[in-house]
């Protein structure tokens, strides 16, 4: 508990320098990275949206491919933020010792973690934004709704990056992340309404989806994309923000114990 109470040593300017450092490295591989982020959700859209969608009636008053596409935005954002926080974050924090090298300059661990957090959310915004562009060009959602959803995509990235850095702080190696995906990420994809309506699931599963962060990400993004609806949006924003801030607070304490002991 005492590690959670250590005062923040954080400068927005210094944190932004960490963000810029990661952006400069990523820029060299930007196109392959974006194509990789697009490949998986596009396979879902084409395989399930067109294939399975041809066999299904409308879902919630829209075609199945439109229903799936709006869930895929949140799903892709979650995956991008999680991969960056886990695999890339672990490499910089523990394997390559990049964080330690940065802290030899006049930057604190809080500066580094804040910059990394913002960078993971930014990468997830690239991924979610790319999906929004594709589904807008396909005419699945209005482009005005896609623009309005961008802040929610970024917030979703902050949420899953914050949670992901907890795993990065605890992980003894890369193999640990298989447990994270198997026990946390993959079940959310199945239970939170990415591929089918929550109403099709038992009541206790629907209740679980209301607690899980992906359920709130989809609850905020899907109605906004499909109809521009914002009813109940504040609650989803509040829950996602709480996950993001609490996740980073816990990750900060764990990282302080691991790196500064």
User: Count of CB atoms within 10 A of residue 179's CB?
Assistant: 11
- Please give the C-alpha separations between residue 222 and each of 73, 80, 194, in angstroms, as whole numbers: 9, 18, 10
As a residue count, the chain comes to: 261
The Cα-based distances of 95 to 86, 87, 160, 168, 186 in angstroms read 12, 10, 22, 11, 26
CA dist 171 and 54 (Å) reads 43
What's the confidence (pLDDT) of residue 199?
A: 85
Q: How far apart are CA 160 and CA 124, in angstroms?
A: 9
Tell me the C-alpha distance between 189 and 116, whole Å.
Answer: 25
Where residue 108 falls (left for φ over 0; alpha for ψ -120 to 50; beta otherwise) is beta
Structural contact between residues 69 and 49, judged by C-beta atoms closer than 8 angstroms? yes
Domain residue limits, the chain: 12-259
pLDDT given at position 207:
86
Predicted local distance difference test score (pLDDT) of residue 71: 92
CB 132 within 8 A of CB 39: no
With tokens 């209005």, the residue in question is 142
Sequence-distant (≥ 6) Cβ neighbours of residue 160 within 8 angstroms: 77, 78, 81, 82, 85, 124, 213
The low-confidence residues of the chain, meaning pLDDT below 50, are 1, 3
pTM score > 0.85 for this model? yes
According to the model, what pLDDT value does residue 105 have? 86
């Amino acid at each position: 508990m005492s590690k959670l109470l250590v005062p923040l040593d954080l400068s927005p300017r210094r944190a932004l320098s960490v963000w810029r450092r990661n952006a400069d490295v990523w820029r060299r591989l930007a196109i392959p990275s974006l194509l990789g982020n697009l490949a998986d959700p596009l396979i879902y859209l084409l395989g399930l949206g067109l294939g399975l969608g041809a066999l299904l009636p409308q879902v919630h008053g829209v075609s199945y491919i439109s229903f799936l596409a709006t869930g895929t935005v949140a799903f892709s954002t979650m995956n991008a933020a999680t991969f960056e926080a886990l695999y890339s974050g672990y490499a910089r924090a523990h394997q390559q010792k990049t964080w330690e090298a940065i802290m030899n300059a006049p930057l604190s661990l809080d500066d580094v973690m804040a910059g990394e957090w913002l960078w993971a959310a930014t990468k997830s915004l690239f991924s979610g934004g790319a999906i929004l562009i594709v589904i807008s060009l396909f005419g699945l959602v209005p482009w005005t709704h896609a623009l309005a959803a961008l802040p929610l995509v970024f917030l979703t990235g902050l949420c899953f990056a914050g949670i992901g850095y907890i795993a990065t702080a605890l992980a003894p190696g890369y193999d640990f992340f298989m447990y994270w995906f198997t026990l946390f990420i993959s079940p959310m994809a199945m239970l939170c309404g990415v591929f089918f309506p929550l109403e099709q699931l038992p009541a206790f599963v629907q209740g679980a989806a209301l607690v899980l962060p992906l359920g709130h990400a989809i609850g905020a993004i899907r109605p906004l994309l499909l109809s521009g609806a914002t009813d109940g949006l504040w609650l989803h924003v509040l829950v996602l923000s709480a996950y993001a801030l609490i996740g980073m607070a816990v990750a900060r304490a764990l990282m302080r114990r691991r790196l500064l002991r």
